[in-house]
Amino acid sequence: MPRINKDQASAAVWFVAGLTITVASVPYGLGTLDSPGTGFLPFLSGMAITLFSFIGLVHATLQRRMGVGWNPVMRGLIWKKSLIVLLALLVYVLLLKPLGFSLCTALFIGFLLRAVQPQRWPVVMAGALGAAAGAYGIFEVWLKAQLPRGPWGF
Amino acid sequence: MDFFQSMVMGFQVALQPGNLFFCFIGVLIGTLVGVLPGLGPVAAISLLLPTTFHVTPVSAIIMLAGIYYGAMYGGSTTSILVNIPGEAASVVTCLDGYKMARQGRAGPALGIAAFASFIAGTIGVIGLMLIAPPLAEMALKFGPPEYFSLMIMGLTILTFLASGPMWKALLMAAFGLFLGCVGMDTLMGATRFTFDIIELTDGIGLVPVVMGLFGISEVLLNVEQSMERSIFETKIRNLLPTVKDWADSTWAILRGTIIGFFLGVLPGGGAVISSFVSYAVEKKVSKHPEKFGTGVIQGVAGPESANNAATGGAFIPLLTLGIPANSVMAVLLGAMMIHGMQPGPMLVKEQPGLFWGAITSMYLGNVMLLILNLPLIGLWVKILKVPYPILFPLILLFCLIGAYSLNNSIVEVLIMVIFGLIGYLFKKFEYEAAPLILALVLGPMLETALRRSLLLSAGDPMIFLTRPISAVLMLISFFLLAYPLVPWLRKKRAILPEGETED
């Protein structure tokens, strides 16, 4: 039988998070009941997170005793694709300012079209350039949003 | 100003060409959002919020509201034709709508969904017009304790109605409250949990959080599953329901409208819950409940009326009390604040043009939706055929641009990506994000109300129970919190006598 179930795992993480928030709120000053301080509500929310996660932990443990075991969350799923998308998003965030909106967007769209569920190269090229140009036209030119420009001015 | 004068003024505002245009754009985008699975009205409103910065506040609100009720119309199309709900409020429409399509009755199913949506949407707006002004008048009597108790009740109702164990929903609400505390403490002027990041001084932005939790996480989930979609190939004809269809649906539409409107008004209620309740009621009152799920028209008409009427009802607490009833309204509240408006009891008095203009635009929006939806169903089906591997990079791009252009900040984009990952994990571990969003929006208001109440009572928390309105609201919250314990207590009581006899 698996050692812990999904809710036990997540409740344990929340329990630690709740305690951390509670402790970290104290230095901001809890104040008194007639004049609550800056840390008062964060402290209460931290306590609430700790309490509810503890209830969750007990509930999940009782469930496990009834046979609700660990259910791998990634079973049967192509989780690598989610990871690729997530990494692409993070790289986009890092490169947006240095490369500028248009180039960064074209690379981002092209990469996703090719890497997640590979499309033919003409589709990738058209998608990448079309999306970058279209988004630039709509947001920069029409809606006057100030998108980052690269060293080449676009 | 009497009711009719107000209505005339509202129509004068709503019928201005610019406002009509934005109403049209809103309902069109809303329908599109409803049609496309994986992009709901919350993410869409957040996504398009930055595009409204260059228009007047009234046009912005008209457009953003149009997205909300437009999505309710569009959601039924995918439920009926693809058996995939375009958004959560149309989940229940799949049960009978898709079966009707498989029986060659896609036309009447789509037709009754559109007509029911129109009728319920319009009645919902009438209800909003009638109830909102007196409620706003009453809300003027609310002090900080009443506001605090009302917000607690809203959060409790939402956690009570959330799917899954209540502890998870309460935990989400508590986490949302904490996130709402990040940034400047408005009463003391000190900052909290900002880690010296200047962008966090104003708090964690609602829009990046919503786009992450609802937009990015949805894409992350969708790409790891099979991205093939099969559309049931059928000729869509006879969109106009027959006399028999109307006879079968009329009461379902009326019941759905009433259920939807009142559940929509309730903080924590909304379109999703009302559609499920309406379906359950229709099944209960039917002479042939066993036929539900096999393609009966009441199973489409009831829930579709309910989810549209709920949109009108949901505006009531927002416009009169400044309290959002659900996560869509929470985003809309954020949008109104960005545009310099403060929804609440004073809105009707201080900005009547905006208040009545926004409401009357919903009449026009509902008419536009009826005209739009029936002839454009062919186009929506074509859009549904766009392969998801091509669609999802564009959804991500819109999210990225939306998050960046809010404040031209990379930090906000990063926050969105982080919350995308968090939202993905929430879904994997079955945590609902709606209580978090509501608590995030209510957090600062709730904190101010709590601290002011305690200042007022010199630190006596009994102030929440000694003032009548506040006490009633608090009692409702306590009841809802204690309710899940009832089956457990009953079980205990049933076991106890057994144990005694054994002894």
Question: What pLDDT sits at residue B425?
Answer: 92
pLDDT in tens, B372-412: 777 787 787 777 777 888 888 988 888 888 888 778 889 99
Contact B17, B362 (CB under 8 A): no
Residue-wise pLDDT tens digits, A64-87: 888 777 777 666 667 888 999 999
Number of domains in chain B: 1
Please spell the DSSP secondary structure of B331-371, one letter per residue: HHHHHHHHTT---SHHHHHH-HHHHHHHHHHHHHHHHHHHH
Average of pLDDT values for B10-22?
91
Mean of per-residue pLDDT scores for chain B: 84
Task: Provide the number of CB pairs (under 8 Å) joining chain A to chain B.
Answer: 163
Span B149-197, pLDDT tens digits:
988 888 887 788 777 788 999 999 999 999 999 998 877 888 899 888 8
DSSP code, position B503? -
Q: What is the pLDDT of residue B500?
A: 47
Does residue A53 surpass a pLDDT of 80? yes
Cα gap A80→B335, rounded to integer Å: 36
Q: B331: which 2 tokens?
A: 């985003």
Nearest CB to A82 within list B401, B413, B424:
B424
Cα B463 to Cα B351: distance, rounded to the nearest angstrom: 32
Range of the domain at B276: 3-502
Q: Is-contact B294 B344, C-beta < 8 A?
A: no
Give the global pTM. 0.80
What does the alpha-carbon distance between residue B9 and residue B126 come to, in Å, rounded to a whole number?
15
Contact A93 B424 (CB under 8 A): no
Burial class (CB in 10 A: 0-12, 13-18, 19+), A76: exposed
Q: What is the largest CA-CA distance in chain B?
A: 82
CA–CA min distance A2, chain B (Å): 17
φ and ψ at residue B104, rounded to 5 degrees = 85, 15
- Give tens-digit pLDDT for B231-251: 555 666 677 888 888 998 999
| Chain B residues with CB-CB distance to A122 below 8 A | none
Q: Rounded distance, CA B452 to CA B145, Å?
A: 8
pLDDT of B40 above 80:
no
Helix axes B93-102, B298-321, angle to 10 degrees: 150
**Segment 45-64 of chain A within 8 Å of chain B by CB:** 45-46, 48-49, 52-53, 55-56, 59
CA distances from residue B372 to B23, B26, B45, B251 in whole angstroms, order as listed: 13, 12, 20, 25
